[in-house]
Amino acid sequence: MPVAIITGASKGLGRALAEALAGRGWDLVLDARGAQALADTAEVVSAHGTRVSALLGDVTDAAHRAELVSAARRLGGVDLLVHNASALGAEPLVRLEELSLEGLRRALDVNLVAGLGLVQEALPLLRASREGTVVAVSSDAAAEAYETWGGYGASKAALDHLVAVLAVEEPGLRVWAVDPGDMATDLYAAAVPDDREPRPEPASVVPGFLRLLDGRPASGRYGAPALLGEAR
Q: What residues are annotated to the active site?
A: 138, 152, 156
101 phi and psi angles, rounded to 5 deg: -65, -30
DSSP state of 202: G
Determine whether 182 is exposed, middle or buried from the number of CB atoms within 10 Å of its CB (0-12, 13-18, 19+). middle
Closest CA to 182 of 168, 162, 167, 197: 197
Q: Do 9 and 31 form a contact (C-beta atoms < 8 A)?
A: yes
Gap between the Cα atoms of 38 and 30, Å rounded: 8
Helices (H) and strands (E) in the chain, counts: 9, 7
